[in-house]
């Protein structure tokens, strides 16, 4: 089993798959191979289908889709055709993004006294960054003259630019003046760049309810839409390849929705 997984690991490294994707794929494939070994099954359509039937009863749709993608990749690496295509891919649940109200965000930011921590949360919201992007920021990625931030090799291995807000720039200037750096990263941690888990902890301590860093990105997009920004500009700022991905925010933006008058009124 170890040789098979090592071969798959090398292939993923060569193709430049993200560390998170590599970790998830290897985990799911290992679980599948253990299932085959435990039941003395060989790889064929019947045990694969049986395996997926068991998954559907235990896991949510999105997890099953991820496992299906992992096994599909594994089969391609091994040169095994047919099986995975015979299994229907469960439809992804269309959940509306969870958005934090502007007032609540302001309260959260006020509660954070540590300048570094405050700037991290401010950038997540004001620039619409993913948590992986904010911890990967280098000081050279920020252009204070143009009020822009370069997101280098973001999701999908693409570069893009996003906004640097005026209020964020004030905090950033103060932070740069007061901080001594030992690496190129804007936010340093014990192992170079700041840890994603540490960012999650900042938000957890500053919030009165469960919030995630990605909810701040959702809020950035929704609030821009409510302010009348063209959805195509929001698409570019978020780094979405398809407009339909960005269009989900039209379902939660209240700018036009709240203006609709009920026929009863």
**So what's the pLDDT on residue 212?**
93
Catalytic site residue 249? yes
Is the domain spanning 102-257 CATH 1.25.40.320? The answer is no
Locate the domains of the chain by residue range: 2-86, 102-257
Q: Which of the four pLDDT bands, split at 50, 70 and 90, describes residue 85?
A: low
Select which of 155, 161, 169, 185 is catalytic: 155
Does residue 116 carry a catalytic annotation?
A: no
The per-residue pLDDT for range 111-162, each reduced to its tens digit, is 999 999 999 999 999 999 999 999 999 999 999 999 999 998 756 567 899 9
- What pLDDT score does 76 carry? 87
2-86 and 102-257 share one CATH topology? no
Query: 103 to each of 30, 68, 92, 99, 114, how far by Cα in Å?
Result: 46, 41, 32, 12, 20
Which pLDDT does position 122 carry in this prediction?
A: 96
Q: Give the pLDDT confidence score for residue 97 in this predicted structure.
A: 82
How big is the CA angle at 154 (ends 153 and 158), to the nearest 5 degrees?
60
Whether the model clears a pTM of 0.75, i.e. scores above it, the answer is no
Would you place residue 262 in the very low, low, confident or very high pLDDT band (cuts 50, 70, 90)?
Answer: very low
CATH code assigned to 2-86: 1.10.150.130
Q: Report pLDDT digits (tens) over 8-60.
A: 989 898 888 888 899 999 999 999 999 988 888 888 777 888 888 888 777 87
Instruction: Kindly tell me the burial class for residue 66, based on how many C-beta atoms sit within 10 Å of its own C-beta (0-12, 13-18, 19 or more).
Output: middle
State percent of the chain over pLDDT 70: 87
Which of the residues 130, 160, 193, 223 is marked catalytic? 130
Question: Residue 259's pLDDT band (boundaries 50, 70, 90)?
Answer: low
pLDDT of 130: 92
Residue 160: enclosing H or E segment and its boundaries? strand 160-163
Which listed residue (68, 217, 218, 223) is catalytic? 217
**Per-residue pLDDT band at 102 (split at 50, 70, 90):** very high
Where is pLDDT greater, at 166 or 253? 166
130 belongs to the catalytic site: yes
């Amino acid at each position: 089993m170890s040789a098979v997984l090592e071969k798959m690991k090398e292939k993923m490294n060569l193709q430049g798959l993200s560390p998170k994707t590599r970790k998830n794929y290897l985990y799911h494939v290992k679980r599948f191979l253990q299932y085959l070994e435990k039941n003395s099954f060989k790889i064929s359509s019947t045990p694969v289908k049986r395996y997926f039937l068991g998954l559907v009863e235990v896991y949510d749709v999105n997890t099953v889709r991820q496992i299906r993608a992992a096994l599909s990749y594994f089969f391609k690496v091994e040169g095994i055709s047919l099986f995975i295509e015979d299994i229907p891919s469960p439809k992804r649940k269309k959940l509306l993004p969870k958005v934090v109200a502007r007032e609540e965000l302001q309260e959260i930011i006020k509660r954070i006294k540590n300048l570094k921590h405050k700037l991290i949360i401010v950038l997540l919201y004001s620039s619409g960054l993913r948590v992986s992007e904010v911890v990967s920021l280098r000081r050279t990625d920020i252009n204070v003259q143009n009020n822009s931030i370069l997101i280098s090799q973001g999701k999908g291995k693409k570069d893009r630019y996003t906004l640097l807000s005026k209020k964020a720039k004030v905090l950033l200037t103060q932070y740069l003046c007061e901080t001594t750096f030992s690496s190129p990263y804007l936010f340093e941690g014990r192992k170079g760049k700041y840890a994603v888990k540490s960012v999650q902890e900042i938000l957890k301590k500053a919030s009165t309810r469960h919030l995630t860093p990605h909810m701040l990105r959702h809020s950035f997009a929704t609030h821009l839409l409510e302010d009348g920004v063209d959805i195509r500009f929001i698409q570019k700022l978020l780094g979405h390849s398809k407009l339909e991905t960005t269009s989900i925010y039209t379902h939660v933006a209240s700018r036009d929705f709240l203006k609709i008058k009920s026929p009863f009124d």
